[in-house]
Amino acid sequence: MDVFGLIGNPVGHSLSPPMHEAAYEALDLDARYVTFEPQPDDLEHALAGAAALGISGLNVTIPFKQDVLEYVEADALASRIGAVNTIDFSGDVPTGHNTDAIGAVRSLREHDVPLEGADAVVVGAGGAGRAIAFGLADEGASVTICNRTASKALALSEDVPDASGGGLEDLEGAIADADLLVNATSVGMEADETPVPAGALHEDLAVMDAVYRPLETRLLREARAAGATTVDGAWMLLYQGVDALERWTGETAPVDSMNDALRSRL
């Protein structure tokens, strides 16, 4: 039996176990997906233990996405982003990957959102914003990053190809000519709030929100009312999991089964 899992702290809220277990059932794989919650100071020992126990792969979540870089051989994308969310133990050394960027791109492709040559605005310069900005840039989009602390957006824009950065005061102007808007902040998760003024939204825009609880955020409601194409955060969660599963197993992921399992719990 192959064992895969998630390492983070906390992990009790995660929707990855039912999503991956649904995939194993659909593919008739003898595999299980479990969660591990080590203390932050025990990460090195936890990873060594996972390797010693023959665990095949791990997803990585807060607070370990950056720290884990010290203990794996990160691929080019994960190295540029500066974070790993998927570890593959199948080789001589554990390899680290970032499927958040890929998850965002595949979500937008699923909804027929063109990326090459697009003008994209990413709100937020944290871990999710960083991954999404790199993913969009690698697909040929020009990226404007807007963040509450403008210096963080400017710093990120220096790392991302063909990107610019600024504060939230620059957001409305950036959206006016944009083709794509992505909320990569947690605004909208705890309260019915949005980081984007409703008046800035327009019908020529595609809007993706990385927040998936609630599934329909205020940003997405207002974007839909403005005639924009909308993509909820569960799609990104789904496709980062799809990419991880395909890396680990070599199988084509049963996307519909994984999506049904995910959305049944939202």
Run of H or E including 166? strand 163-167
The number of beta carbons lying within 10 Å of the beta carbon of residue 256 is 10
Gap between the Cα atoms of 22 and 255, Å rounded: 10
Nearest to 239 by CA among 258, 219, 217, 220: 258
Which residue among 65, 80, 97, 152 is the active-site one?
Answer: 65
User: Hey, what amino acid is at 192?
Assistant: D
Nearest to 129 by CA among 94, 169, 168: 168
According to DSSP H, which parts of 118-232 are helical?
Answer: 127-138, 150-159, 171-176, 218-225
Q: Does the annotation mark 65 as catalytic?
A: yes
Task: Taking each helix axis as running N to C, give the angle between helix 16-27 and helix 233-249, from 0 to 180 degrees, rounded to the nearest 10.
Answer: 50
Gap between the Cα atoms of 160 and 17, Å rounded: 32
Task: Indicate which residues carry an active-site annotation.
Answer: 65
